[in-house]
Amino acid sequence: MRTQVAIIGAGPAGLLLSHLLSLQGIDSVVLEARDRAYIEKRVRAGVLEHGTMELLRETGVGARMDAEGLPHDGIYLRLDGESHHVDFAELTGRSIKVYGQQEVVKDLVARRLADGGDVRFECSEVALHEVTSDRPRISFVHNGQSETLEADWIAGCDGFHGISRSHVPGEDLQRLYPFAWLGILAHAAPSSEELIYAKHAHGFALHSMRSPTVTRNYLQVHTDEDLAEWPDERIWSELSTRLAGDDGFHLTTGEIFDKSVTPMRSFVHEPMRSGRLLLAGDAAHIVPPTGAKGMNLAIADVRVLSHALGQWAATGATEGLDAYTETALARVWRVTHFSWWMTSMLHRFDGYDPASTRFDERVQLSQLRYTVSSRAAMTTLAENYVGMPFDTGWCYS
Ligand code: APR
Ligand code: PHB
């Protein structure tokens, strides 16, 4: 079996890459370890940057996002109960949408299949061979059959725990954080028209949503937190305490139908290419969720990659592919800084040295006060949150 671009992983990165390639007449095959129902249900991020929305719209996969996604013009920053509105629309002229990652995945799977795309679910024993040669291959098992897929290029879009990254020699740069997020989904109406990011003496909390009847909330907890210690009443009580505001905020509660603990880390693998293997999305980097950037960054990578592959397919030129690591990493590090900065500014850090901890708390508070009182600082937050602009639109020919 042969294709132009073999893609490992049917997350947002792999699926969108396959779609963007097909719009340019480039053939691809997507190999996914899980079944379709699993990837369409997996609960992940939920915020789309301005440029992500435009890209999905311009490439014909934004209709349901526009119909069902929740538009937001800003966020609230809460500082021990004191509320500050960051007005993205006014500060940047741009905005965001809340639309679950699994909904983006559903839309992309539906479109790939409608277009006759080759997406294979439940592939096992996926292995890469000779990625630095001119004839890279992937071996895998599908429907009980051993298969080999030859390709001109392989895109490793298999997420943080995938196999692709280990075939790209280089450096892992990472920062671990001494806390995790306990996340819940609940059948409850959102209690605020905007997302609330709250810094509180007990730790960080985030109030988000998925629809007019479903809220998504997060609490900063210890890295080794046991979910059994968090019955629903304790979660609601702690959320109410940390999210309390001077604006009459009242948290609506409801039945919790999903509960999980996510560790936090920043991670970047450099470079993002070895020979004919190119990494994109979580396979190459992850950010803590405080800036809502994971899915957007994965999408930004494949936007660059699909242009570079389009150039190669049309002319044989590899300038774009040769520049892929450098082009993609420029945005990766901007977003890595922003996510680290938001995380550092809003969480409670319990250091080992009490004097240094108190010092760090004062500096953190000063940073937050500056951010909510200076238009320049607020604009910095806003332009990063809505997403730094791309150099060109999708159609650049
Ligand atoms: N073979 C085939 N598929 C694999 C393999 C493998 N060996 N290993 C992993 N996969 C699949 C996973 O099952 C998953 O569906 O690769 C896909 C990777 O998708 P994501 O983890 O969603 O990664 P990505 O597309 O880069 O999207 C990044 O996901 O983790 C979130 O917050 C993150 O929002 C961000 C987004
Ligand atoms: C979410 O709704 O899941 C969400 C929103 C904002 C974040 C992280 C997660 O920063």
Q: Is there a single domain that holds both residue 242 and residue 115? A: no
CB atoms closer than 10 angstroms to residue 365? 14
Q: Is there a single domain that holds both residue 162 and residue 202? A: no
Range of the domain at 132: 2-46+100-170+271-346
Q: Is there a single domain that holds both residue 228 and residue 166? A: no
Spacing, Cα 377 to ligand 1 middle (Å): 34
Q: What is the pLDDT of residues 250-276, one digit of tens each?
A: 999 999 999 999 999 999 999 999 999
Q: What is the 3-state secondary structure (H, E, C) of 294-341?
A: HHHHHHHHHHHHHHHHHHHHHHCCCHHHHCHHHHHHHHHHHHHHHHHH
| CA of 39, closest atom in ligand 1 | 15
CA 262/CA 373 separation, integer angstroms: 32
For residues 33-51, average pLDDT: 95
For residues 218-244, average pLDDT: 97
Q: What is the pLDDT of residues 77-134, one digit of tens each?
A: 999 899 999 999 999 999 999 999 999 999 999 999 999 999 999 999 999 999 999 9
DSSP states of 115-184 as a string? TT-EEE-S-EEEEEE-TTSSS-EEEEEETTEEEEEEEEEEEE---TTSSGGGGS-SEEEEEEEEEEEEEE
Determine the pLDDT at residue 393: 54
Catalytic-labelled residue, pool 200, 207, 289, 324: 289
Residue 180 domain-assigned (yes or no): yes
Q: Is there a single domain that holds both residue 193 and residue 331? A: no
For residues 57-81, average pLDDT: 96
Q: Is there a single domain that holds both residue 17 and residue 123? A: yes
Q: Is there a single domain that holds both residue 257 and residue 209? A: yes
For residues 157-173, average pLDDT: 98
pLDDT at residue 394 greater than cutoff 80: no
Q: Is there a single domain that holds both residue 152 and residue 185? A: no
- The total domain count for the chain is 2
pLDDT at residue 395 greater than cutoff 60: no
Determine the pLDDT at residue 45: 84
Residue 129 domain-assigned (yes or no): yes
- Give which of 266, 257, 265, 246 is closest to 216, Cα–Cα: 257
Phi/psi class of residue 338: alpha, beta or left (left: φ > 0; alpha: ψ in -120 to 50)?
Answer: alpha
The answer to whether residue 385 is catalytic is: yes
The domain that holds 255 is classified in CATH as 3.30.9.10
Determine the pLDDT at residue 396: 38
Q: Is the CB of 32 under 6 A from ligand 1?
A: yes
The answer to whether residue 293 is catalytic is: yes
pLDDT at residue 392 greater than cutoff 90: no
Burial 231-262 (b: 16+ CB within 10 A, else e): eeeebbebbebbbbbeeebebebeebeeeebe
Task: Give the H/E segment covering residue 210.
Answer: strand 205-211
Catalytic-labelled residue, pool 76, 99, 177, 197: 197
Nearest ligand to the C-alpha of residue 159? 1
Residue 335 domain-assigned (yes or no): yes
DSSP states of 349-375 as a string? ---SSHHHHHHHHHHHHHHHHHHHH-H
CA distances to 129, 177, 197, 203, 396 from 344, rounded to whole Å, are 41, 9, 13, 12, 38
Q: Is there a single domain that holds both residue 251 and residue 329? A: no
The answer to whether residue 85 is catalytic is: no
Q: Is there a single domain that holds both residue 237 and residue 186? A: yes
The sign of the CA dihedral 166, 167, 171, 174 is negative
The domain that holds 25 is classified in CATH as 3.50.50.60
CA 153/CA 43 separation, integer angstroms: 30
Q: Is there a single domain that holds both residue 147 and residue 226? A: no
CA 328/CA 301 separation, integer angstroms: 6
pLDDT bracket for residue 397 (50, 70, 90): very low
Residue 223 domain-assigned (yes or no): yes
Q: What is the pLDDT of residues 207-224, one digit of tens each?
A: 999 999 999 999 999 999
Q: Is there a single domain that holds both residue 216 and residue 306? A: no
pLDDT at residue 302 greater than cutoff 70: yes
